[in-house]
Chains A and B, each alone.
Chain A
Amino acid sequence: MSETSAAAPPSGAVAYAELFCRSNFSFLQGASSPEELVSTAAALGYQALALTDECSVAGVVRAHRQIKQQQLPLKLIIGSYFQLPGLSLVLLCPDRQAYAELCRIITNARRRAEKGHYQLEEWDLRSSKHCLALWLPQGEAEVDQYWGQLLSRHFSGRLHLALVRQLRYREARYLAYCQTLAHDFALPQLAVGAVLMHQRERLALQQTLTAIRLKTPVQQLGRQLLSNAEACLRPLSKLAKLYPAAALAQSVTLAAACQFSLDELRYEYPSELVPSDLSASQYLQQLVQAGARQRFGTAGPAASIQALIDKELALIAELRYEYFFLTIYDLVQFAKARGILYQGRGSAANSVVCYCLEITAVDPRQINVLFERFLSRERQEPPDIDVDFEHERREEVMQYLYQKYGRERAALAATVISYRLKSAIRDVGKALGINEMQLEHFIKNLNRRHDVVSWQQQLSQLGLNTEQGLGQQLVQLVEQIRGFPRHLSQHVGGFVISAGPLYELVPVENAAMAERTVIQWDKDDLETLGLLKVDVLALGMLTAIRRCFQLVQQHYGLTLSIAAINGYGDDPQVYRQIQQADTVGVFQIESRAQMSMLPRLRPACYYDLVIQIAIVRPGPIQGDMVHPYLLRRHGLEAVSYPSPEVAGVLSRTLGVPIFQEQVIQLAMVAAGFSGGEADQLRRAMASWKKTGELLQFKEKLINGMLSRGYQQDFAERIYQQICGFGEYGFPESHSASFAVLAYVSAWLKHYFPAAFYTALLNSYPMGFYSPSQLIQDAIRHQLRVLPVCINASAAAHQLVLHQGDWAIRLGLQQVKGLSPQTLQQLLQQRPAAGFCHPVQLKQLGLNARELAALASSNALQSLTGDRYNSRWHLLDQQTQLPLFAAVAEPATPLLQPPSEREAMLEDYQALGFSLDYHPLHYLRQRGKLAGCTLASDLATVRQQAVVKVAGLVTCRQCPGTAAGVTFLTLEDESGNINVVVWQGTALAQQQPYLTAKILQVNGILEREGEVIHVIAGRLTDLTPLLEALPAGSRDFH
């Protein structure tokens, strides 16, 4: 960044640089964001601003980005504030070594204490050779003498005494004392503002933050609050009056001495990946060639593909990103060696090099590879590549990274957890002393996604007077505090790896989880500074697929792999099953919205699947694009392209833009954007809801198109569709990778259903459905599901041969309340012939609670016949005496066996589902559901007919997109019924709509091809018929 040639201060006005200023990254202290601070400092005509948060540099990159984007005439100085008993100190970084030193000091201080705290030692001060120091005396003689001597010995020539003037109690005496101290230690005096906010109006917020920090209402804090609002960025004229001129001038000279800027940070990749005799690009070339031969057959890739490879390799060499690919290649090879299923996605999926390096599994020939999306000269940062691993084995991969590069060179990127609406209302409300029950009441009844009524109006409807008094204060403060950082937590999987020690580059601190470390910058900061981040993410479906492969290998003797299944090409039987929306458990296309779309779109090949996954994202629905694509697919609307270039881009989606890549191509082809500009448009689309950057691209886009002869309405429609994308527009590369997994899981469900369901059940919790619904679906596919049994079951769910057919034997892990250790102990000590009397279990030393769990899950059925008897025996203390161990008198049945109803209720309580009875089947047998049509019979009912249905409410969903509509799923013994409830019906019948577990719906049947909905009219709550049915439903997910 060029040296700020600050205009010479106009005659009379004083020059000043603020060297002690804390942002809201000093959690619950600073009341303004780094961006606000630098903008105000520049507006006030300061020469420079030092951002010195407490033992942290988390906010400096945001300040740096603000200065660059707004071209502010202000120099940013990096520093940090520290506190020790009796000492307040600010360290500033004049140069790169000082910056590395500061990062090391912060890292050591943070690593000594647990998350959110730090512990500075005198040793750290002794070891500092380059940093400049500002000392703020405490005001007590002997403490200041001790620190004065120590600091002047270690920071000789680099130490300044900071004068703070905030018009506080007996300040004249404190200043005179500081001046004598400066005289005694021969230190230059320097004016600082000890800034906590960028303008006076933030006093109320700052005091609220103090109240939150001290956990006492603000009215009782008295002297612990700031006595006035002088701790803000003050105009130069005022500072000239308050501070001696020499001290003000000293601040400018010190600021001039600090030349370090964040742009100097260069990234050094880990070097040990490349064999010593080869250069990085040669090694990469070698690997790519080997990969290409393996992927495209020994003859090597076709000419066009080879050209693309060379083009990519040339650009990679030019931008010096070889190490980036080698790092990921090494990671992926490790996973392959360990048999951990993985899959690369993100912009890399557009690159042939990645396909050759086996990072991604998407064959470039199948999708239209967009090179700009992968790498572009204008964008100065590396491509972002995410690699998904099995969610149970991801920890192995992360530990591998820690071992290979060492804890100093590998750490997780940070995520800044900031105040959202509900946490803001709770904290600010408590700080203002509003009583807690009322606060909880407000928070519970606030519907965040309600776009018609703002949250402020909702609060006043709930009884808070938001016009004056505390209510008004609450609303204003919550509005200000939203977005403020609360603490740093770890990014889900973003790893930062460096050649040298990481803490030379950015401070590292402890994460909440044991032996995990986090850097102080988040992924946006890394992107701003062009630093590398590798995303190591977890995907549940990969675990399920691997388990299924193992079961198939074990029982059917067939070895399968993702690549192999893809290799078999599009299998019509599998696609027919997908078209019938029989996709419970299939990756990405099992949700309600997908199931209702599948019969309409009727995907028949891999690329249809790619479109299917992308099309149901909220993005396209908002841009009202779903229907045109369907219309064109079934030939109901002519496929037209305004120009040949547009045809090239949109032909594969019948002229309707669905993917983000298509929008980028359109911008380039139709509106003349360059590759880099197009990608900025992409990033603007991703965050336009928050920052509104998209607006500036609007005229550019539309004028670009008009100048190339497109009509106004076509340009407008494209712009609208782009805004629609803003929310969740899905990149084609991601959707392509997901489509691979979706097809593999559908294939497995078709050919090996028993193994598929067993694998899914063993990988729970995962996916959209609960075990109960998965088992219902299995039974509907004519699969035998055998109950949990103390003698026959293993720990996990098993695939067993039962009467000549494959069946699922439920495992003992399904029993709620049975600890894993007891499970293992039970299995080891199980006699070969199995247990014959409950008393043997007691001798194994299981505690009462676990015995009760076993009894209530009816696992002991083979021993005692039913639950009550097994509990009756287990309760008997008598037999524990060794004397009676031998005598086991016959179990005379004293108790009546449980009725059907009680057995079913106990099943649901203990296992979460019941194999033998379905509540609806039980009620129907007793004639309670007269006139209700079964789910399976709905197909025979004619369109628009009045119908009465009933079922267990398993899912309530009101997607933000469809205004006011709620989708209910009712499950009866024959299948699922989709019910649509308009807002009016819901509001009129709150009680059944909200709380019913078993619901009867009178409504009108609507059919659209294969898709059947019941539009709800009258809702009646049947739950009282089956009291204490605990089956939970996934509400408002």
Chain B
Amino acid sequence: MHSLLEQLTQRQWLWQGSALPAAGQQLSSGYAEFDRQLGGWPASGLLVLQSQPAIGELRLLLPLFKQLQQQGLLGLINPPQLLQAEPLAAQGINPSQLLLLSGLSETDALWAAEQLLQSGLCSLVLLWQGTLARKAARRLQLAAQSQQALVLQLTTHQPELTLPLALALQLLPQPQGLQLKVLKRRAGWAGQQFYLNWQDEWPELYPVLTRTHAALAETA
């Protein structure tokens, strides 16, 4: 009997109540509305963000990067375009804490993510990847759990909600900022929806239509 239990946990089919970290342990997101709605980002585990590119999905994560860079390296795997260090440095993220792996095949990307997590040096791994197999998601979730790290998957597809996700969000662009929908949340209900107003933080990107703006819109 004892060996059966051991076999089940070894194949990760067994879910023990005690293994669940306290729901309360969370990282502040840097945005008041976000913290009010969700209490911040989960401290560890696998998360999925479904979003079109260039709508502010990375700018949403900048405060999180800034926090986690003290605890370890930030691994970025397979960004769709060239990553620029300057805008990140402008937000106080030290480029020497970033580890950029680009142009990897899917299997290599997963292997690299696992290596980064198991090395104990990374506090966050951001993975641009279309879909995630169940087995891979499970391994990443476990590795993140054991090392108190976060794994974030950025995809444009609909995520598979049956995967062991700590949080799954969908991001939609708005003229004043960003709209977020909760697709799945551990120890919480899905379907929640709220808006972030970025007009005073990024005035040029979300301009408030005023008089001076109109005068200058006319270009040389």
Chain A residues within 8 Å of B, Cβ to Cβ: 167, 170, 172-173, 175-176, 179, 238, 241-242, 244
Contacts and interface: CB of A to CB of B under 8 A. Distances in A.
A173 B210 CA distance: 13
17 contacts: A167-B220, A170-B204, A172-B204, A172-B212, A172-B213, A172-B216, A173-B203, A173-B204, A175-B212, A175-B216, A176-B212, A179-B212, A238-B220, A241-B218, A241-B220, A242-B220, A244-B215
B91 to A, nearest CB: 16
A244 B218 CA distance: 12
A172 B213 CA distance: 8
A172 B204 CA distance: 9
Nearest to B217: A172
Contacts of B215: 244
Interface string B184-220: 0000000000000000000110000000110110101
Contacts of A179: 212
Nearest to B207: A172
A241 B215 CA distance: 10
Residue picked from A167, A170, A172, A176, most chain B C-beta under 10 Å: A172
A170 B203 CA distance: 11
Contacts of B218: 241
Contacts of B220: 167, 238, 241-242
A841 B116 CA distance: 82
Contacts of A238: 220
Nearest to B216: A172
Nearest to B210: A176
Interface footprint category on B: under 10
A179 B220 CA distance: 20
A172 to B, nearest CB: 5
A172 B215 CA distance: 10
Given A172-B213, A238-B220, A244-B215, 7 more contacts: A167-B220, A170-B204, A173-B204, A175-B216, A176-B212, A241-B220, A242-B220
Contacts of A175: 212, 216
A172 B211 CA distance: 12
Interface of A is mostly: helix
Nearest to B213: A172
Contacts of B216: 172, 175
Interface of B: 203-204, 212-213, 215-216, 218, 220
A429 to B, nearest CB: 32
B217 to A, nearest CB: 10
Nearest to A171: B216
A238 B220 CA distance: 7
Nearest to A170: B204
Nearest to B212: A176
A500 B59 CA distance: 67
Contacts of A244: 215
B209 to A, nearest CB: 13
A397 to B, nearest CB: 61
B84 to A, nearest CB: 15
A678 to B, nearest CB: 54
Q: Which 7 residue pairs across A and B have the least CB separation, nearest first?
A: A172-B216, A176-B212, A241-B220, A242-B220, A238-B220, A167-B220, A241-B218
Contacts of A172: 204, 212-213, 216
A211 B170 CA distance: 50
Contacts of B213: 172
Nearest to A241: B220
A222 to B, nearest CB: 11
B77 to A, nearest CB: 30
Contacts of A176: 212
A175 B204 CA distance: 14
Nearest to B218: A241
A167 B212 CA distance: 16
A238 B215 CA distance: 15
Contacts of A241: 218, 220
Nearest to B215: A244
A241 B204 CA distance: 21
A245 to B, nearest CB: 11
Nearest to B219: A241
A939 B212 CA distance: 95
A167 B220 CA distance: 9
A179 B213 CA distance: 13
B208 to A, nearest CB: 12
B22 to A, nearest CB: 44
A161 to B, nearest CB: 15
A324 B217 CA distance: 64
A649 B204 CA distance: 81
A594 to B, nearest CB: 67
A679 B212 CA distance: 61
Contacts of B212: 172, 175-176, 179
A888 B128 CA distance: 98
A242 B220 CA distance: 7
A242 B203 CA distance: 21
Contacts of B203: 173
A566 B47 CA distance: 109
A552 B212 CA distance: 90
A895 to B, nearest CB: 70
A246 to B, nearest CB: 12
A18 to B, nearest CB: 18
B47 to A, nearest CB: 33
A331 B204 CA distance: 71
A460 to B, nearest CB: 40
A244 to B, nearest CB: 7
B190 to A, nearest CB: 40
A37 to B, nearest CB: 22
B25 to A, nearest CB: 39
A601 to B, nearest CB: 72
A422 B132 CA distance: 68
A179 B216 CA distance: 13
A167 B213 CA distance: 15
Nearest to A172: B216
A238 B218 CA distance: 12
Contacts of A170: 204
A175 B212 CA distance: 9
Contacts of A173: 203-204
Contacts of B204: 170, 172-173
A891 to B, nearest CB: 75
B211 to A, nearest CB: 10
A176 B204 CA distance: 13
A733 to B, nearest CB: 61
B215 to A, nearest CB: 7
A160 to B, nearest CB: 20
B185 to A, nearest CB: 38
B31 to A, nearest CB: 22
A241 B218 CA distance: 8
Contacts of A167: 220
Nearest to B203: A173
A486 to B, nearest CB: 36
A80 B85 CA distance: 41
A167 to B, nearest CB: 7
A714 to B, nearest CB: 63
A176 B203 CA distance: 13
Residue picked from B203, B218, B220, most chain A C-beta under 10 Å: B220
B202 to A, nearest CB: 12
A172 B220 CA distance: 13
A224 B203 CA distance: 26
A957 B203 CA distance: 73
A311 to B, nearest CB: 66
B10 to A, nearest CB: 56
A244 B216 CA distance: 10
B147 to A, nearest CB: 39
B207 to A, nearest CB: 9
Nearest to B220: A241
A774 B24 CA distance: 102
A175 B216 CA distance: 10
